[in-house]
Structure 1
Amino acid sequence: MHQTSVDFFPFSPLNPGREQDASTSPEPPASLVEELKQLSLQATAERHLGNEAGISFAKLTQMVLTRLSPDKAEFVFETPPPPYQMHTPPASLETVLNEFSGSLSCYPTLFNGVSLSNITEAADTLTELRIPDEPHLSNLVDFYFAHSHTLYPIVNRQEFVATLEQLSTNPNDPWVNSPLPLFRIYIVLAIGATTYCSVTLGEESEAMSYYNKAMLYFEDALGYGEMATLEVLMLQVSYSFFNQLGPNTWFLVGVAARVAVGMGLHTSSSYDNMSIEDIERRKRLFFSVYMMDRMVSMALGRPSALHDDDIDITPFAAIEEETGSAEDDLSRDSFQPSTLAIPLHILALRRIASRIARNVYCNTTSKGRSPEERNHILQTLHKELIEWRRNMPFPLPDTHHQVPQMSTSWYDFNFYTHLTLLYRPSPLSPTLDEQRVKILADAASMSIRQALNMHRQQRFAYNWLNLLAVFTVTLSLVYATTASPDSLAVVLKQSKAIQDLEAAIEMFELMSIKFPAAKKIGRMVEQIVVRYKDICNAL
């Protein structure tokens, strides 16, 4: 497995030298780095993880933890032995991250430890599967449009509702019984069901049944033209953010991005002589692909499939599909923002994340910069994040009380999560001064608190992307706390690091219902907290 270099971290007492040659050294024990790799690589079949994925940062955090050992030796995590095994190798941050990332083919599990990947349905069972009756049908469809549609406005709601109505009133209509409409219906039901389960920690078999039913029509639905092909691929990506079934997320996003570029959706000239409706439809699809691409690229630390310099179109308009024009939309309620203001604002965040990746984590753009230039980049991006948070849509549309992005806590969580990404050690800023360590610690603590707030509001989405986000901000808090230049005991007494890490442990325990790796991560954090408490008690 390829391991990201830590070359950009300088020699220091906490980083005494390079690793031993792999051919002569014994296999390393489990670690935070390995856990992060295992989690991140669940999204891909390939094994490369770049700087933004946090592997190098996890290695650095593992090194910093030597401060917790009386003899300054490597901090070793003890893991409980599995059944029928007398001894389990000790864990470390590196191996934990590797294990976590190596599977995005390692599916989330149902309750009682049954893996989704082990559940298959016979063809005759899927053939007999029908669209649910009211009101369950409306509940799933409404949750899809309240949740997923306000993240990625892929499906035209008016067309979708009209198709459902036609299927109800005229079930033998040839169009509504053709592959593309049927794929749309069942994949929307699958996404609606799995996203609802993600916030309720509910059982996933219904969602998987709808997904398997949708895939019966997948190949034929691809034959309805380029726009249909792009929509079908993106809907499968949307589902894969919550359940890893079928092709991996990284592959699907790359294919969708290349289809979009092949159609010229990134260039203004391709929109000449089109109606406003067609322009807006295509822009919504393109920028949904863009947001998906940035989300996965940042999680895995890989180059994006879509390049900002190649895009010369403006974003889609915040026009409700039910009204059809900006004027009608404004006359509807000038004090209530459109629901499409939500994905537009998320798009702005993804663009900031793209600039963070390019200016902070790219080795080539970071080389040769003066300290003043490096500081200016950090300050500029920090200000952009502050402006993004200040300019969030208000009041937030009241579409569903369990949709994460309809809560201010969601915007706070994303603000602080991106702030930790900006301020942790990186190619642009390989060493942190006291002020940046403090910013990193505060941002990581606030990110964990906002995640817990969303859980208490029943708005936190328990998917692999958020699991990775909570894991990396937890690493950031551990690093910033342990690497502080002040006395560690004093830092722990004056901060709420222990309480915040205990909140993170609570989140990992909850996530372990669907992701078994979260339990292992939580136990590792518990061992750090125990050592922190020992240091405090010894003061």
Structure 2
Amino acid sequence: MATILMAAPPLAPRPIAAWSTPMAFFDSKEHRPALKQLQQSAPVARSRKERPCDGCRKRKSKCVLQEARRCVLCEFHKQDCTFVEKAQPRKRKLEDGSLCESTAKKSPTSATVSAGRTQTQTPAVVVASVPVARKPFAVDESLSLQRHRHCKLLGQTTALDASLVGLGAFNDKNETESRVGTLRQVTGSEFFSIHADADVPIPDDEARALAEIAAIVGQHGQALIDIYFRNVHPSYPIIQKEAFLDRVRHGDKQFNPPLLAAMYLLALSWWDQDPVLSQQTKPDVLRLEHIAISSLTFAMQRPKMSAVQAGLLLLQRAKSSTWTLTVQLVALGQDIGLHLDCSDWSIPLWERRLRKRLAWALYMQDKWSAVMHGRPSHINGADWAVQHPTMSDFDESIPAVVTDSSAEDTDPQSAKGRTIFMQMITLTSIMADVCSTFYSQTARTESARAGRYSTQLVLNRAKPVQLKLKEWFAKLPPECKMDHQTLGTTGPLSSTGYLHLGYFATEISIHRRIVQSLDPATADPYMLYICRSAAKTRLISAMDFVNRLRPEHLQAFWFFPSATNFALIGTFGALLQATSPGREEAGFYESRLREYKWTLAVSSKKARWIGDAVEVLEANAELLGGLGEKPVTVVAQPRKVAQEKVVQVLDASMAAPQLLQQEFDFLDGEEEEDDEMMEVDGW
């Protein structure tokens, strides 16, 4: 058996070598980074008259025999090298083909669309009838986006100790061979095991899935990809745009099926708003979604960033936002090390930037899904080491690849979207604090133990979180204000709506817990008045925000929890109605809830997904039907008198009067700040 010679072990991980242009690049599989060194040092291949071995035929790889009649790739994969299987008939090339083939020549639809709107069209794919020398695809130089290999993180407690793995003989790609497979070192203490996709057999044919996707989308693939990068990507940049378009330009047919289907699905949300596409027959959304979900199930068995990307995009669709898939994606992200700080890893710079953006998108998915479904979060802060992104992390340029990224860096719409994405990360961190402070099992247990003082405990804990939230709002950049108009952009759509809706959902989650802690049987009536007045103020502000949403907000991209956040406003109003002490107050909330439901119903004509929130409001209304008749109450006393009396009636032996007075001051200032915030925000 021939021995594969490895390079001497380096003292430290070497940086990823820059691309070098090969003399010819006709067979992309021949130039896989993991196999390039093996093939370059192997014997000369036999003539084409000799058939390849069974393994290479399945892999569609070049078969290079050694003297012992065992080919290099079978030696590499540690499998038998046989010549017994019959050759499979050649498959016809698809007429519609995949994304690449459908965009080889511009479809009439996409060509017409460009005349009606100003946009940067994705360059048409180069027809591969004449081979053109080119550099390897950027994804094949990466760690977690290679087309033929996938990786898994070797954690600190596994049977392979990092100190021992570091003794391996690493080549110029920081990889070494071992009995458990190829090991790759990305930093002094972090290692991954690298596996060939062919080593993980799955009962699915990616080529068939891509063909089905292409058949469903037809000639509209190019137009939908343009829509995706125009409407979704700016404020949800989890794809490396230039790496993706580089593959499209050069006719790569090995796209990840669930990722491609998910991109199409999101783009189809704007089908009816397009003046040309709306006149065409819309692709079968349900069939496309079925293919995306089923192919994602298989793709997750080969951990890659593309599978995480596909899952996150699918979860942006309201009907697809399931808790189970979210948990699977968190596990998948940990499998490829997205929870780690990759700042000094020996991987391409563009991949480090993409990893950071994708990691935070996964973080937000986990935290807001926990809010939506009332579940505990699966991302632990103690094990989260990802640094917050900066503007430089949104640079999508790739060395030696001709791109339009420089133009996008100066595009106001793209810059605005990136700012929204970063602000949503900070807001999500605050919401995570709210959930752990008020809704964790530990917090609920402590509140129950506090008994009659539970409201005071909740108020005490609410103040620091509330102040942090107000500080976040006060520091919002101008481009994140609701009234901000972006000059020179390609369209009027603005995604600032989902950011502000998330803010109100966070505010309401705090006051919801305060109201839940109030017990009319034991609480002082003046305390009830103060807390309920503050809650009423927040509800009115949130409803007024929804009333002021314009079409450019409603038709833009909305983050996945938005339908739930709209519903949370209505749920909070229903809670206040149900706990109202008298008939007059209950009637007020009933009236406001009817108005709010009408507003959402009208808004759903521009954004159909809002209909899910309307259903929740209808369900709440049915439950409120069982609410008994409220008694007639006297007019409540003024706020200031209420504060003075509640402090007077508190037990003098308690240490709480001064603290409680501070909490009242804190709640008392909310009503005034609401008006100020709305003025600052331009509403």
TM-score when normalising by structure 2: 0.48
Q: Is the 8 A contact 2:462 2:510 kept in 1?
A: yes
2:545 alignment partner, one of 445, 450, 461: 450
Higher helix share: 1
- CA deviation after TM superposition for structure 1 residue 127, in Å: 6.6
Q: Is the 8 A contact 1:336 1:395 kept in 2?
A: no
Give identity over the alignment, percent: 13
Please give the alpha-carbon distance, in whole angstroms, between the structure 1 residues aligned to 2:492 and 2:506.
23
Any residues of structure 2 matched to 1:71-150 within 5 Å, and which? Answer: 126=212, 129=215, 132-133=218-219, 137=221, 139-150=223-234
Any residues of structure 2 matched to 1:376-387 within 5 Å, and which? Answer: 376-387=460-471
Stretch of structure 1 that moved more, 430-439 or 357-366: 430-439
- CA deviation after TM superposition for structure 1 residue 281, in Å: 1.6
Deviations 1:12-61 (A, max 9, x none): xxxxxxxxxxxxxxxxxxxxxxxxxxxxxxxxxxxxxxxxxxxxxxxxxx
Any residues of structure 2 matched to 1:473-492 within 5 Å, and which? Answer: 473-485=569-581, 487-489=582-584
Any residues of structure 2 matched to 1:92-491 within 5 Å, and which? Answer: 126=212, 129=215, 132-133=218-219, 137=221, 139-167=223-251, 176-180=252-256, 182-194=257-269, 206-212=284-290, 214=292, 218=296, 221-222=299-300, 226=303, 229-242=304-317, 244=319, 249-268=322-341, 271-319=344-392, 320-322=394-396, 332=410, 337=415, 339-365=417-443, 367=446, 374-396=458-480, 403=493, 405=495, 407=496, 409-425=497-513, 429-431=517-519, 433-454=528-549, 456-457=551-552, 459=554, 465-485=561-581, 487-489=582-584
Taking structure 1 as reference, are residues 258 and 468 closer, same or farther at Cα in structure 2, changes over 3 Å only? Answer: same
Q: Which residue of 1 aligns with 2:594?
A: 501
SS at match of 1:340: helix
Paired amino acid for 2:254: S
Please give the alpha-carbon distance, in whole angstroms, between the structure 2 residues aligned to 1:442 and 1:465.
23
Paired amino acid for 1:441: K
Please give the alpha-carbon distance, in whole angstroms, between the structure 2 residues aligned to 1:309 and 1:468.
28
Aligned residue pair count: 393
Please give the alpha-carbon distance, in whole angstroms, between the structure 2 residues aligned to 1:468 and 1:516.
8
SS at match of 1:272: coil
Deviations 1:396-441 (A, max 9, x none): 5676757552x3x443322222111111136994557322212222
Higher relative contact order structure (alpha carbons within 8 Å, sequence separation ≥ 6): 1
Please give the alpha-carbon distance, in whole angstroms, between the structure 2 residues aligned to 1:427 and 1:499.
18
Please give the alpha-carbon distance, in whole angstroms, between the structure 1 residues aligned to 2:409 and 2:270.
32
SS at match of 2:390: coil
- CA deviation after TM superposition for structure 1 residue 318, in Å: 2.1
Task: Give the CA RMSD over aligned residues.
Answer: 4.7
Taking structure 1 as reference, are residues 123 and 132 closer, same or farther at Cα in structure 2, changes over 3 Å only? Answer: closer
Please give the alpha-carbon distance, in whole angstroms, between the structure 2 residues aligned to 1:138 and 1:124.
15
Paired amino acid for 1:363: Q
Q: Is the 8 A contact 1:179 1:218 kept in 2?
A: no
TM-score when normalising by structure 1: 0.59
- CA deviation after TM superposition for structure 1 residue 294, in Å: 0.8
Q: Which residue of 1 aligns with 2:110?
A: none
Q: Which residue of 2 aligns with 1:49?
A: none
Q: Which residue of 1 aligns with 2:101?
A: none
Please give the alpha-carbon distance, in whole angstroms, between the structure 2 residues aligned to 1:471 and 1:506.
12
Taking structure 1 as reference, are residues 142 and 318 closer, same or farther at Cα in structure 2, changes over 3 Å only? Answer: farther
- CA deviation after TM superposition for structure 1 residue 129, in Å: 0.8
- CA deviation after TM superposition for structure 1 residue 249, in Å: 2.1
- CA deviation after TM superposition for structure 1 residue 299, in Å: 0.8
Please give the alpha-carbon distance, in whole angstroms, between the structure 2 residues aligned to 1:449 and 1:526.
24
Q: Is the 8 A contact 1:416 1:447 kept in 2?
A: yes
SS at match of 1:395: helix
- CA deviation after TM superposition for structure 1 residue 185, in Å: 3.0
- CA deviation after TM superposition for structure 1 residue 222, in Å: 4.9
Q: Is the 8 A contact 1:283 1:316 kept in 2?
A: yes
SS at match of 2:233: helix
- CA deviation after TM superposition for structure 1 residue 150, in Å: 4.4
Taking structure 1 as reference, are residues 138 and 455 closer, same or farther at Cα in structure 2, changes over 3 Å only? Answer: farther
Q: Is the 8 A contact 2:234 2:414 kept in 1?
A: no
Paired amino acid for 1:317: T
Give unpaired runs (5+ residues) of structure 2. Answer: 1-207, 400-405, 481-485, 520-526, 636-683
Deviations 1:50-100 (A, max 9, x none): xxxxxxxxxxxxxxxxxxxxxxxxxxxxxxxxxxxxxxxxxxxxxxxxxxx
Paired amino acid for 1:129: A
Taking structure 1 as reference, are residues 384 and 532 closer, same or farther at Cα in structure 2, changes over 3 Å only? Answer: farther
Q: Report the structure number with the largest CA radius of gyration.
A: 2
Taking structure 1 as reference, are residues 361 and 516 closer, same or farther at Cα in structure 2, changes over 3 Å only? Answer: closer
Paired amino acid for 1:187: A
Please give the alpha-carbon distance, in whole angstroms, between the structure 2 residues aligned to 1:332 and 1:198.
27
Taking structure 1 as reference, are residues 207 and 386 closer, same or farther at Cα in structure 2, changes over 3 Å only? Answer: farther
Paired amino acid for 2:419: A
Taking structure 1 as reference, are residues 222 and 312 closer, same or farther at Cα in structure 2, changes over 3 Å only? Answer: closer
Give unpaired runs (5+ residues) of structure 1. Answer: 1-121, 168-175
Taking structure 1 as reference, are residues 417 and 267 closer, same or farther at Cα in structure 2, changes over 3 Å only? Answer: same
Paired amino acid for 2:390: A
Please give the alpha-carbon distance, in whole angstroms, between the structure 1 residues aligned to 2:563 and 2:412.
38
